[in-house]
Amino acid sequence: MAPQHIQWGNITLHLDNEMFRTSFTNGRSMYFDDREYEFPHLAHHMTTREAVGSVLDEDGKGGYRFDRMAFNHPLDILGFFLGYMSGSIIAESAEEYEERHKRVVIVPEEACSTRRAL
């Protein structure tokens, strides 16, 4: 369950919209997953292009458009982006950690005696 508000420096961000709160929570979860599993370098050093790429797609004409495959509404986009960026400044709570790890699935690697690439 996402918190109802987040202290962000001197600002209290009220998560009073369900769509925004869900996207914010998903963004935070993605940050901590990236840091722990997939892209640890992004959690410590993110270029402008990588930040933009988290919510935008290049349009092929030198510009950008919102990633409509991942986000259906501007509140999704803003919530996800702010949630992801909050990971580096607001520590993950024990409840967030527990919820995130409920979704982790360990897939065992089967031993391949022939050592052939498949």
Could you report the per-residue pLDDT of 1-36, keeping only the tens digit for each? 566 888 878 889 899 999 999 999 988 998 898 888
Among 49, 96, 100, 54, CA closest to 77: 54
Domain residues for 74?
A: 5-92
Residue 100 inside a domain? The answer is no
Between CA 90 and CA 83 the distance in angstroms is: 10
Residue 11: alpha-carbon gap to chain centroid: 21
Check whether 116 has a pLDDT greater than 70: no
Residue 101 inside a domain? The answer is no
Check whether 76 has a pLDDT greater than 70: yes
Residue 53 inside a domain? The answer is yes
CA 66, 89, 36, 101 dihedral sign is negative
- Dump pLDDT digits (tens) for 82-100: 998 888 888 898 998 998 8
pTM greater than 0.85 (yes/no): no
Q: What's the pLDDT at 117?
A: 52
Residue 72: pLDDT band (50, 70, 90) is confident
Number of domains observed in the structure of the chain: 1
